[in-house]
Amino acid sequence: MEHQTVIDAGLYGIVRHPMCAVTIWLFLAIPLILDSYLSLLCFLHYPIVIAIRIRN
């Protein structure tokens, strides 16, 4: 991975993976908006899965 630069300005200066951060909010907010608490229980594992993927 030579000749690659790390972008650390703007949104990437705050969150390294902005799309992953947004999908976590999305997957947790939509069941709450729709009053579907069973769906929320199904999606609670999603932030953990994303965190494991980011670390790899």
Q: What is the pLDDT of residue 11?
A: 75
- Whether the pLDDT of residue 17 is over 90: the answer is no
Q: What are the tens digits of pLDDT across the range 18-43?
A: 888 888 899 889 999 999 999 889 88
Q: Which position has the token pair 């199904």?
A: 42
Confidence bin at 55 (pLDDT 50/70/90) = confident
Q: In angstroms, rounded to a whole number, what is the distance separating the alpha carbons of residues 56 and 35? A: 34
Q: In angstroms, rounded to a whole number, what is the distance separating the alpha carbons of residues 27 and 55? A: 20
- Whether the pLDDT of residue 7 is over 70: the answer is yes
Q: What is the pLDDT of residue 29?
A: 92
State percent of the chain over pLDDT 70. Answer: 98
